[in-house]
Each structure stands twice: as C-alpha cells, then as structure tokens.
Copies of this chain bind each other. A is one copy, B any other.
C-alpha cells in the first residue's frame, strides 16, 4: 500500500484519469504533473519514475479491491459468497471506473516493470473467488478447475461491468448484478444432463 499525503493522492488521481483516457504507455510524467497541479520536482520526490508511479497505483487499487472482497465474503460461504463477491466487484468497478479500465487494459501485459507486483495482487483478488467456488463445489478443487472458474467469474463481472458503465449506464446496478448472477445460475443449461457434468 502507498502511504497517502494530499500531494500523493492528487498525483495518483491524475495518473488514473490520464491512463484511463490514453493508456499507461500514452501517459507521461509531464502530463501527470500538469493535471495534478504539482511541480515536477514534487512528482519525482513522491514517485522516482513512471514505472514506480504505476506500480504504486495498480498495487494500491488491487489491494483495496482485495480488502473489499475479503470483507464482503466474511460470514458467507458458497453461492452466497459468490453473490456478494460479484456485487462487491461490480460496486468497486462502478466507484472507480477509470481505475477499472486501466487494470482491464494492463491485466495480461507481461512486459511491465511492475509485472511481479501486479501478478501477486491479481492472485490475491482471484483467491477470494476461488475460495467461494471451492466451498460451493468442492470437487472443482481436485481437478484444478476452481482457479479457471475464479478467472471466469472475475472476467464475466469485469467485462459486463465495463460494458454497463461505458455503454448502458442508465441501467440500475441491481439489474446488472442480477444479469451476471443469472449467467451462473444454471438457467442457461438444460435442467438435467448438464447438472451432472
């Protein structure tokens, strides 16, 4: 986690905004200093390089998300936990759409200086989903399917959430949660044979 001063917060907010518009590669330290209204000396005092800035930003965002997911899951299990995790992830995407766009664009980049940090944080967030999935369907753990299923639930929520926020924002959040959960409810599958998969 990044320890936060007013200047640091202003820098991170400016960096998220610009990167959501132009991507991380299209963002320069000059742009960030100007948008944040801080001197370049002050920017570099807080973050030694653009790589350090984005490592801090993505790390902070993913750590806050993981903490929110963990808190939401506490006291629930199985399908109830999956419901609350999807709801919480969608709420986080709605509350921080610019950051969600930056994370969605960066999540499978393997060339970043902050790759290791990013993978560790992604792993922690996905682990919350995986735990709930294994509770709901213990045999998924044995076959290694649970990890892929966690990515599936996360990817479904991220894509449907950004689709909603960028192209269909009038729709109430509760309808979006309901549509995502309906996808996992089994109502798309035939009642009997596929439930025996």
Is there a chain B Cβ closer than 8 Å to A195's Cβ? yes
List chain B residues, Cβ under 8 A from A158: 155, 159
Complex interface residues of chain A between 73 and 119 (CB less than 8 A to chain B):
78-79, 82, 101, 104-111
| Contact in complex: A153, B156 (CB < 8 Å) | yes
| Residues B181 and A197 in contact, CB atoms below 8 Å apart | yes
A187 within 8 A of B: yes
Copies in the complex: 2
The answer to whether A22 has its CB under 8 Å from any CB of chain B is yes
Q: Are A189 and B188 in contact (CB under 8 A)?
A: no
Q: Are B111 and A189 in contact (CB under 8 A)?
A: no
B180 touches A152 (CB 8 A): yes
Interface centre among A25, A152, A183 (most CB of B within 10 A): A152
In this complex, the member of A24, A106, A107, A179 whose beta carbon has the largest number of chain B beta carbons within 10 angstroms is: A179
Q: How far is it, in angstroms, between the C-alpha of A24 and the C-alpha of B184 when the chains are bound?
A: 34
Nearest-neighbour CB distance to chain B for A91, whole angstroms, equals 16
Q: Does A58 contact B (CB under 8 A)?
A: no
Complex Cα distance A175/B146, Å?
Answer: 11
- Is there contact, CB below 8 Å, between A159 and B164? no
- Among B78, B101, B109, B145, point to the contact of A175 (Cβ < 8 A): B145
Q: Tell me if B179 and A186 are in contact (CB < 8 A).
A: no
B163 touching A159, Cβ below 8 Å: no
- The smallest beta-carbon distance between A181 and chain B, in angstroms, is 7
Q: Please tell me if the beta carbons of A152 and B160 are within 8 angstroms of each other in the complex.
A: yes
CB distance from A127 to the nearest CB of B (A): 13
Q: When chains A and B are docked, how far (Å) is the Cα of A136 from the Cα of B187?
A: 8
A-B contact pairs, 22 of them (CB 8 A): A78-B188, A101-B109, A104-B104, A104-B107, A105-B109, A108-B162, A140-B182, A144-B171, A148-B179, A148-B180, A149-B160, A149-B180, A149-B188, A151-B159, A158-B159, A178-B197, A184-B188, A185-B186, A185-B189, A186-B186, A186-B189, A186-B195
